[in-house]
A and B are shown apart, each in its own frame.
Chain A
Amino acid sequence: MSCDVAVVGAGAAGLRAATVAARAGLSTVLVDSYERAGGQFYRQPASTPYPPSPTQVEGRELIEAAYAAGVEVRTGTSVWDAAARPDGVTLWLTAGDRLSTLECRTLVVATGAHERVAPFPGWTLPGVHTAGAVQALHKGHGVPVGERVLFAGSGPLLLVAAAGLVETGTRVVEVLEATRPVRAGARHPWATAAGLWRQGERLREGLGGAVRLRRAGTPLRTGWGSVRALGGDRVEGAVVSRVDRDWRPVAGTERTVSCDAIATHYSLVPATELLRLLGARMAHRPELGGWVPTVAASMATSLPGVFAAGDCTGIGGAGLSLVEGELAGLGAVAYVTGREPGRAPLATLRRERRFQRLYGTLFTPQPGLAELATPETVVCRCERVTRATVDAAVAAGARTVQSVKAVTRCGMGPCQGRICLPAITRLADAGPPPEARAPLEPVPFEAVASCG
């Protein structure tokens, strides 16, 4: 099977890129590993006990626009291998146990992001989840993760997810945000003012969340963090403390909080596995979330005919993802047809880029985060590798993430390092970007063998 444009990831950026390409008359295939299009921000639950939110409605409209433009949408389909050739890209796809290949002349990678988590003592206990998981469970399924939930970490999703939970009657004991946004913003007044310019909706959402928490009697503390989870078989509490500017616990401020679930979240990490597998040039940009592809204004990567858009190019949120998706779609059309690219909404792009810079200023993880793990803390959940093992490897000369991985097996389990490697990046030097190898997703061996 072949097409003009393949788009990987049916979130904000991918939906918009695919729609732009298909409207220009190009044969366009949009691939997504989930059962339904929408990605994380515009997630479309199979069914939900609650009426659809404005965001879900907006997402449905984006999906309907893609179908109306003639995009072939393939959900439940993951890319497990890929190769860039001079005349295009080959994608190897898996849908359950069915394998197929897709040849495309140009590729748009819009794989989004996932939550950053930091290993801390007790984080592998049942009852510790990411804030995103807690939000997805209650929004999509009406299932609360506990009766007294502690939210601790950094980033707007923490506040939004906590506010959503109290609205449905679940008790949130405290929300602890490591950053002090007002203080950090005051250090960069111009960037802050510019970043918030025409962001009324985001400000309203943030303030609205804070008001809902206040009404529910939930303290929202900035400059605080969780230090460790307590409990035997599952979470029974947490030790929390004030944290300084570098997010290091302030001695003497520790106290114990009683809770039966912990939602953790330290902003987001761009999902760049496919770009790294293809060999796109990468740069380490902590303020954008870590390793990101270097992209031109057209969202073209260093590889001919390969574009990238949305959070996988740097955390910026759905608004920026939509504009970047449009740019990448226009770029892909220009690449295939040889025509001049169409006009992009540059004013919106500039506004969203300013917000992205502010987000980076406020929510980039600080060094103290890497120090929460004690020697016996499991760092790699898949392979059960402890901090002591990683430290020993670094002390023995494994300086880069790649060499730590090779020596300790950290990042070699089924999650392919998506959870632990960002944490290892803070324990070792970043070095070159960690290698991504096929299969990107676990593939049944018989299936690979059968395709010869």
Chain B
Amino acid sequence: MSATVRIEVDGREMPARGGASVAAALLATGLPAGLFCGIGVCHGCTATVDGVPGVRTCVTTVAPGMRVRTGGDSS
């Protein structure tokens, strides 16, 4: 339904389904996302997205060229 976009996760480029949440994109490629509640409440899945720390990846939609840094983000 939506075209594939390319995002960068921890320096590695990977495909993601357009319209997917960042957490869903990570899980789809087998990467742990820290996802627990899935609705932005628990903050377990936060990552640095395009330089902004503490972004809840389960409620953030992927965008072409988005840079995601997982880990080391305790916000």
Tell me the A residues contacting B by CB distance below 8 Å: 33-35, 40, 45-49, 96-97, 114-115, 117, 126, 128-130, 132-134, 136-137, 140-143, 145, 234, 381-382, 413-415, 418-419, 442, 444
Q: Of the candidates B2, B23, B36, B37, which one forms a contact with A47 in the assembled complex, judged by CB atoms under 8 Å apart?
A: B2
Interface residues of A: mostly helix, strand, loop or mixed? loop
- Chain A residues, Cβ within 8 Å of B39: 40, 114-115, 132-133, 136
8 examples of A-B residue contacts, CB within 8 angstroms: A35-B61, A48-B19, A143-B27, A145-B27, A381-B36, A415-B41, A418-B41, A442-B75
Q: Kindly report which residue of chain B lies nearest to residue A418, judged by CB atoms.
A: B41
Known: A133-B35, A382-B43, A413-B43. A35 touches B59 (CB 8 A): yes
Q: Is A141 in contact with B38, judged by CB distance below 8 angstroms?
A: no
Q: Of the candidates B2, B17, B41, which one forms a contact with A419 in the assembled complex, judged by CB atoms under 8 Å apart?
A: B41
- Chain B residues, Cβ within 8 Å of A132: 37-39
Q: Kindly report which residue of chain B lies nearest to residue A47, judged by CB atoms.
A: B19
Q: Assuming A34-B59, A419-B42, what are 12 further A-B pairs, CB within 8 angstroms? A: A46-B19, A47-B20, A129-B35, A133-B35, A137-B23, A140-B21, A140-B24, A381-B36, A415-B41, A415-B42, A442-B75, A444-B52
Known: A46-B19, A96-B52. A414 touches B43 (CB 8 A): yes
Q: Kindly report which residue of chain B lies nearest to residue A35, judged by CB atoms.
A: B61
> How far in angstroms is the closest Cβ of chain A from B20?
5
Report the bound CA distance from A96 to B55 in whole Å: 9
- Chain A residues, Cβ within 8 Å of B21: 140-141
Q: Kindly report which residue of chain B lies nearest to residue A142, judged by CB atoms.
A: B17
Report the bound CA distance from A419 to B38 in whole Å: 12
- Chain A residues, Cβ within 8 Å of B36: 128-130, 133, 381, 419
Question: For window 16-32 of chain B, which residues contact chain A by CB distance below 8 Å?
Answer: 17-21, 23-24, 27-28, 32
Known: A47-B19, A49-B1, A129-B38. A137 touches B59 (CB 8 A): no
- Chain B residues, Cβ within 8 Å of A145: 27
- Chain A residues, Cβ within 8 Å of B19: 45-48
Q: Does B70 contact A (CB under 8 A)?
A: no
Known: A381-B44, A418-B42. A442 touches B35 (CB 8 A): no
Report the bound CA distance from A128 to B33 in whole Å: 12
Q: Kindly report which residue of chain A lies nearest to residue B53, judged by CB atoms.
A: A444
Q: Of the candidates A46, A115, A234, which one forms a contact with B37 in the assembled complex, judged by CB atoms under 8 Å apart?
A: A115
Q: Is A133 in contact with B27, judged by CB distance below 8 angstroms?
A: no
Binary contact track B46-75/A, C-beta < 8 Å → 1, others 0: 100000101000111100000000000001
Report the bound CA distance from A122 to B3 in whole Å: 38
> How far in angstroms is the closest Cβ of chain A from B69?
16
7 nearest A-B residue pairs (beta carbon)? A133-B38, A47-B19, A46-B19, A141-B24, A414-B43, A47-B2, A136-B38
Q: Is B40 in contact with A33, judged by CB distance below 8 angstroms?
A: yes
- Chain B residues, Cβ within 8 Å of A142: 17
- Find the residue from A46, A140, A419 having the highest chain B CB count within 10 A: A46
Report the bound CA distance from A313 to B18 in whole Å: 36
- Chain B residues, Cβ within 8 Å of A137: 23-24, 27, 35, 38
Q: Kindly report which residue of chain A lies nearest to residue B27, judged by CB atoms.
A: A143
- Chain B residues, Cβ within 8 Å of A130: 36-38
Q: Is A143 in contact with B37, judged by CB distance below 8 angstroms?
A: no
- Chain A residues, Cβ within 8 Å of B58: 133, 136
Q: Kindly report which residue of chain B lies nearest to residue A413, judged by CB atoms.
A: B43
Q: Is B28 in contact with A141, judged by CB distance below 8 angstroms?
A: yes
- Chain A residues, Cβ within 8 Å of B42: 381-382, 415, 418-419
Q: Is A143 in contact with B46, judged by CB distance below 8 angstroms?
A: no
Q: Kindly report which residue of chain B lies nearest to residue A112, judged by CB atoms.
A: B39
Q: Kindly report which residue of chain B lies nearest to residue A144, judged by CB atoms.
A: B27
Report the bound CA distance from A137 to B27 in whole Å: 9
- Chain A residues, Cβ within 8 Å of B59: 33-35
- Chain A residues, Cβ within 8 Å of B41: 114, 415, 418-419
> How far in angstroms is the closest Cβ of chain A from B3?
10
- Chain B residues, Cβ within 8 Å of A133: 35-39, 58
Report the bound CA distance from A46 to B17 in whole Å: 11
Q: Is A143 in contact with B1, judged by CB distance below 8 angstroms?
A: no
Report the bound CA distance from A145 to B58 in whole Å: 13
Q: Kindly report which residue of chain A lies nearest to residue B23, judged by CB atoms.
A: A137
> How far in angstroms is the closest Cβ of chain A from B42?
5
Known: A97-B52, A414-B43, A414-B54. A47 touches B18 (CB 8 A): yes
Report the bound CA distance from A48 to B32 in whole Å: 21
Report the bound CA distance from A142 to B54 in whole Å: 25
> How far in angstroms is the closest Cβ of chain A from B49?
10
Report the bound CA distance from A117 to B38 in whole Å: 13
